[in-house]
Chain A
Amino acid sequence: MMRPRVVITGMGVVSALGVGVEANAAALVRGESGIGQVRYLPTEHHEFPVGEVKMSDEELCHSLQLADGPCVSRTNLLGIMALREALVHANLQGHPDLALISGTTVGGMDVTERLFPEPLPAGMHDVHDCGASTDIIADNSGCFNYTSTVSTACSSAMNALILGKLLIESGEREIVLAGGAEALSKFHLNGFKSLMILDRQRCRPFDQTRAGLNLGEGAAFLVLESETSALQRGAEILGVLSGGGNACDAYHQTASSEDGEGARRAMTQALADARSSPADISYVNAHGTGTPNNDASESAALRRVFGDKLPPVSSTKSCTGHTTSASGSIETAFCLMAMRRGFLPYQTEYQNLDEKCIVPVSGKEPPQANLRHVMCNAFGFGGNDSSVILSRYE
């Protein structure tokens, strides 16, 4: 049986770089970073830079024409914003037969931590759990008759993309919106602080002086569709989701193995799934968090997969911060922008060579590039390692 080709016909993105695909692409091309001092999260920890979406909850509600209130979760506002853009982009508003797969871990934790130790007020719709978040985001448009939530920490949104691909390839669904949404919360800021992996300066993935990550927030959804459906609808095809892979590092709950075995397996599987060889890949958007452990482990894995023919690699977390559960779809969307507009996303922060690490694309402006196949990585707690490959539609 020929498996249907899974194409991408729309996307919506919100990150510290801006609201919408245009704003994010323009900021990437200009080499901007959205990381700065905390403004919207009510935390005392001003010593840790963050990549916040530059709107308050109230402004987000106003812009979305939704009612504000103490039980409105920022995760959902960011998700609704990205999902609306994706639906408009793919010309699917009002479509009655869509599936939504969202990746999140924080979900409505921002609301819970605001209320705790008081419970959710009686009579309120559920907001805390991850599934409630997905359903609230889905029901804002009313287009969805299938919803699902992946929660594998920082690889959640990428695993949502991989599941979306499976649903289409198996013939279960024709069109799937897949991605993730995650707002900053005091819960996970203090959690990452407890793990001592937050940098007090702007994060510097793969740099010898790197000292941790900066947390970010945002949302992105991609419209995945069978090629047949896209052609029938006359939809513009932006690219192909040609490969996906996931493996477990099976090493430690939060640390990555020295040789990056899980990451190596995920990338190798994604290549096999795309029926591609390492030499086909013209750019890798690394997970590259900026923690000493992740970047060394990912570099080891990249070297094992690509040998001495390593394609250009960069981590855009120096522009957005680590958007945790949403990072997999935000960065896959960045890869699609780069492929369509012909540039290499580059790191805004990199100076010092670390022998243990690959050398990322950095400099004053992003080099122009002709990208045919690109790889994007997202790794999560528990050694949950995922990788996808996007290809130009030809």
Chain B
Amino acid sequence: MNRVFVTAIVKDVPAGEYARYLPPMKARRMGKLQKRALVTALKAMEISGVGEPDAILNGTAMGCMENTVQMLGGLVSEGEEVNMPTCFMQSTHNTVASMIAIFTGNHGYNTTYSHRTISFELALQDALLRLRLGQIRTALVCANDELTELQLHNPTFFGQLEVQDRSEAWMLSVESGEHPLYEIENVRVIHQKGAEDRAEIIKKSL
């Protein structure tokens, strides 16, 4: 069974660096989360030297809320005359993972977990098992969520779930490379009725 290493971790690339990874022309049509998510993923690919990961996985607690809220608003203001194709197609939870694949021309395994606060850990578990079994050799695992004005104004608008406004990207590989950050040993996931779902990433610093 393969050992699994984390070879890069990138968090919330600042807007000043975007132009390095993303031509402004292409960025214009993207929302705030999409830009940050894509640039964070591209930087993790650059640092790790893995430009074509075998898999792209994303974890998102709430999905693409900016577009979702806009579409909901459209349904209120225009009723069912509403016509928001772009907004709708970018409101689905897997928009980010797809966009990274489309931008980089990646045909590999592509999936998205949307399971409360442990979405990223579930994505990581999926990647870990595939890497261990040798189905894939590298995987980009991301965490992406955004907070809309509506949620900033009223954090419990859509419920009690605490959402972190963040973009994070980890590169996983069965090869340690020169400077591995961690070795991942396991991801434990626990569901118990009446309690928040929990997940623990068991990793060893290298």
Contact = CB atoms under 8 A, between A and B. Distances in A.
Interface of A: 1, 3, 43-45, 105, 112-113, 116-117, 119-120, 122, 124-132, 134-135, 138-139, 142, 144-153, 159, 163, 166-167, 169-170, 172, 186-188, 190-196, 246-254, 261-262, 265, 380-384
Given A44-B79, A166-B130, A149 B114 contact: yes
Interface string B81-121: 01111011111111101110110111111111111100100
Contacts of A261: 107
A382 B190 contact: no
Contact of A382 (B71, B105, B110, B156): B110
Given A120-B156, A170-B133, A248 B98 contact: yes
Contacts of A149: 113-115, 119, 122
Contact of B73 (A3, A117, A127, A152): A117
Given A105-B93, A153-B94, A250-B101, A129 B72 contact: no
B76 interface: yes
Contacts of B109: 246-248
Contacts of B97: 152, 382
Interface in B127-168: 129-130, 132-133, 154, 156-161
A112 B98 contact: no
Contacts, number: 208
30 contacts: A113-B75, A117-B76, A119-B154, A119-B158, A124-B159, A126-B158, A129-B62, A130-B114, A131-B161, A135-B116, A148-B113, A150-B113, A151-B93, A152-B94, A163-B111, A186-B75, A190-B82, A246-B110, A247-B110, A248-B98, A248-B107, A250-B107, A252-B102, A253-B90, A253-B99, A381-B94, A382-B92, A382-B94, A382-B101, A382-B110
A207 B133 CA distance: 42
A382 B108 CA distance: 13
Interface string B9-49: 00000000000000000000000000000000000000000
Nearest to A121: B156
A116 B91 CA distance: 16
Contacts of A248: 56, 98, 101-102, 106-110
B189 interface: yes
B205 interface: no
Interface residues of B, number: 65
B72 A116 contact: yes
A252 B108 CA distance: 15
Contacts of B56: 248
Interface of B: 1, 56, 60-63, 71-73, 75-76, 79-80, 82-85, 87-95, 97-99, 101-102, 104-116, 119, 122, 126, 129-130, 132-133, 154, 156-161, 189-194, 197
A152 B61 contact: no
Contact of A381 (B1, B73, B76, B92): B92
Contacts of A125: 159
**Most-contacted residue by chain B among A45, A128, A138, A196 (CB, 10 A):** A128
A116 B77 CA distance: 11
A6 to B, nearest CB: 13
B89 A146 contact: no
B112 A150 contact: yes
A191 B116 contact: no
Contacts of B89: 191, 195, 253-254, 381
The 9 closest A-B pairs by CB, nearest first: A382-B98, A191-B88, A126-B159, A131-B116, A151-B93, A131-B115, A151-B114, A248-B110, A149-B115
Contact of A253 (B62, B93, B102, B111): B102
Contacts of B106: 248, 250
A238 to B, nearest CB: 25
Nearest to A382: B98
A383 B126 contact: no
Nearest to B135: A166
